[in-house]
Structure 1
Amino acid sequence: MTTTKISSDVLEITVATFGAELHSIKKDGIEYLWQGNPEFWARKAPILFPIVGKLKNGSYRYNDENFKMAGHGFARDNMFKLIDSDEDDLVFELKDSKETKLSYPFDFRLRVSYKLRGNKLLVKWEVKNQDEQEMYFGIGAHPAFNVPLESGTFEAYKLTITPTQSRQFIPLDPETGTLDLDKKTLLEQNEFSLTHDLFKDDALIFETPKATEVVLSNSIDNRSVKIAWKNMPFLGLWSPYPAQAPFVCIEPWCGIADDENTDGDLTTKFGINSLDPGKKFKAEYTIEIN
């Protein structure tokens, strides 16, 4: 597997060409990113495109034609091309192919960039519709962080969502991977002490219509991870259950799984993005390492 390493005066990251997936984030010689273990979860930080989460029955309908697609889409399982790089900046690109057309009938270009600035990593996505028809898609992040980062136990850590306010919480059915929008509730809780039981019903999913930050921190030292974004409407927090996995995922999304009551039409799917021919969609988030 081909990987590329870049560094700032504080951080060192490694990114793989396969999936344009982040493979390492190091500070002070300490690895912050989960390194993948099939016993729990073999991936590290996959890019979710052109869907986020699972489709009901693993399929969708577009223009009266049915398509099958695995959860989180195909970008994570495709080889990207490294199109630009310097000492602290990488840009990867994926385009449609005969293979992608089997599950996704659009001409597209996806660019993913990684930029290091001190103790921050800026991740940018650019989706371009290269088709002659309107394009529908979702895109999301799925980075996993080691818990503990350096010392302590899983239970010594917490996740804090800011700003402090109530948020819409969307339940997920762990058996089907679909949402139950009819049971969406307003949740006042902004701080979550980590326990493995926290994820017994799969991912915790929230609507984040405004600028949002999530901090992974502990009660032992000052090491922490902060994920921040301005324009991602959904957030997923996840760790495998019932496995006692030593990591947690903090996932900003521009897209989301199907509602269990969906009719399967891609154009009306909950949380879907649409893009006119020739237009571009851009989104970004930062990972701050302390």
Structure 2
Amino acid sequence: MIITLENAEISVSFSTKGAELQSLESKQTGLSYLWNGNPQFWGKRSPVLFPIVGGLKDDTYYFEGQSYHLPRHGFARDREFEAIKISEEEVLFLLKEDEESLKVYPFKFQLGLHYRLTGNTLCCGYEVLNTGDNDLWFSVGGHPAFSLPLKPTLSYQDYYLQFNKDSELKVHEVFDNLITDTTETIRLTAAGKLALTHELFYKDALVFKNLKSNKIRLKSDKSPHGLDFHFEAFPYFGIWAAKDADFVCLEPWCGIADPVHHDQQLIHKEGMVNLEPGKDWLRHWEVTCF
């Protein structure tokens, strides 16, 4: 089912499958900011990453002596969420454990996705509640893909990402969906800009740990239009595009792929959140269109 929200400035739509953002459009300019999901390149648009972020070594983890298997980024993006609250400018989606999830992830949980419009800003909030009797181990991440170029008269290479607090980026190399020990440093311009090219993502995503920045601007100097992506308290961040595809993903993560030498124990997995019974956990990111 598709659910649409709008105010005077923006219109957005969501699918109950994966609680996934499907469109983000400016009513003032008519511009579409979100990737269209062309399956020739990548059929997703803004998947929810839960209960892991990134890949597991051999797609397998161990918990309390048992082995479990999960695909890259977990299962939430392929599950049907319940829309439990809908108004003109906000919607709340909910996912709980069931017999199917317990076979691959032996925890009771409640995952809420809360989307809200304020002016020309869309806020995406994550809430995880531990409804079980034991500690809950999980990761959460965002994966929104933004369409480029925003105007057909421009090209992908006309755009850049501008980081508000970083002068260089330390990239952790990805191999076969896992994090290696190899790093590379990318120096930004004096204004904190990283020029976008398709070749930038030919190896895989750019993965960062402990970015200083909490806002990234996506823009071209040839156009007044772009977006600001704001995030807080996400210790990891990914930037990715499928090969030669006209989009860029800005991915705030609480969690990261396994390192290549990981022991596959869930409680040793880097970035996992440990949540006590009855406790809840909140994070959010925002995108402002201009």
Deviation at 1:270, TM superposition (A): 1.1
CA distance in 1, matches of 2:91, 2:84: 8
Is 1:169 aligned to 2:171, yes or no?
A: yes
CA contact 1:209–1:231 (8 Å) conserved in 2: no
Q: TM-score, normalised by structure 2?
A: 0.94
Q: TM-score, normalised by structure 1?
A: 0.94
What amino acid maps onto 2:283 in structure 1? Answer: A
The alignment covers a number of residue pairs equal to 284
Q: SS in structure 2 opposite 1:271? A: coil
1:122 maps to: 123
The 5 A counterparts of 1:137-216 are: 137-151=138-152, 152-173=154-175, 176-180=176-180, 182-184=181-183, 187-189=186-188, 190-208=192-210, 210=212, 212-216=214-218
Is 1:77 aligned to 2:78, yes or no?
A: yes
The 5 A counterparts of 1:1-290 are: 2-27=1-26, 28-151=29-152, 152-173=154-175, 176-180=176-180, 182-184=181-183, 187-189=186-188, 190-208=192-210, 210=212, 212-241=214-243, 244-290=244-290
Deviation at 1:20, TM superposition (A): 0.3
Question: Between the two proteins, what is the percent identity of the paired residues?
Answer: 34
CA distance in 2, matches of 1:183, 1:11: 42
CA distance in 1, matches of 2:212, 2:241: 24
CA distance in 2, matches of 1:166, 1:153: 25
Q: Which runs of 5+ in 1 are unaligned?
A: none
Q: Which runs of 5+ in 2 are unaligned?
A: none
CA contact 1:122–1:286 (8 Å) conserved in 2: yes
Output one character per residue of 1:44-85: Cα deviation in whole Å (capped at 9) or x when no partner.
000000011111111100001000000010000000000111
Output one character per residue of 1:149-170: Cα deviation in whole Å (capped at 9) or x when no partner.
1230111111122213445431
Runs of 4+ in 1 over 2 A off after TM superposition: 164-169, 182-191, 208-211
CA contact 1:40–1:240 (8 Å) conserved in 2: yes
Q: SS in structure 2 opposite 1:99? A: helix
CA contact 1:91–1:112 (8 Å) conserved in 2: yes
Deviation at 1:35, TM superposition (A): 1.1
Q: SS in structure 2 opposite 1:47? A: coil
Deviation at 1:187, TM superposition (A): 4.9
CA distance in 1, matches of 2:184, 2:247: 27
CA distance in 2, matches of 1:185, 1:39: 30
CA distance in 2, matches of 1:124, 1:83: 15
CA spacing shift, 1:222–1:208, aligned 2, 3 Å: farther
CA distance in 2, matches of 1:49, 1:253: 10
CA distance in 1, matches of 2:103, 2:222: 50
CA contact 1:210–1:233 (8 Å) conserved in 2: no
CA spacing shift, 1:20–1:144, aligned 2, 3 Å: same
Pairwise CA RMSD: 1.3
